[in-house]
Amino acid sequence: MFDKYIINPTSLRNTGQTDAPDGFAFETKLGYYRGLRLSMVEELNIGIDGVVFPRDAIRFDEGGGLLTLDEMETAYDRRWAFGAPATIFVRCAGGFPKGDHTLTLQQKLRISYMPFPSLNYDEKPISFA
């Protein structure tokens, strides 16, 4: 529904030391028209040029502090509001690669009244210097 707004390409940055990045981060928005508790976010699949990062390399922060995807499963007291940006951190030696690439994100969300998960997908071309 709001898939084209999931990735904010202008927010992309490397993390860690400037001369030796240990990952990258970018802002994301919920691809569903209502807010959700973090425990209802089943998966966040992030990829660069078709290569998907492992689950344990991903961290998420909606403003309440960093969580792993496993920790999000029991974050019943934290909510991601519709339209509110959150930050995804990805551990990746060397950070985001320089040059032209495609960044992808798929959100797999559990919606209480739907018998199947909501899959929301966005991909953005990124020129990173």
Report domain extents, the chain: 3-124
Ranges of residues in the chain whose predicted pLDDT is under 70: 1
Q: For residues 80 and 97, give the distance between their C-alpha atoms in angstroms, rounded to a whole number.
A: 29
pLDDT at 116: 87
pLDDT at 1: 59
Indicate the average pLDDT of the chain.
Answer: 95
pLDDT at 2: 79
Do residues 80 and 30 touch, judged by C-beta distance below 8 A? yes
**CATH number, domain 3-124:** 2.60.40
3-state helix, strand, coil in the chain (%, to 5): 10, 55, 35
pLDDT at 129: 83
Could you tell me the pTM of the whole model? 0.94
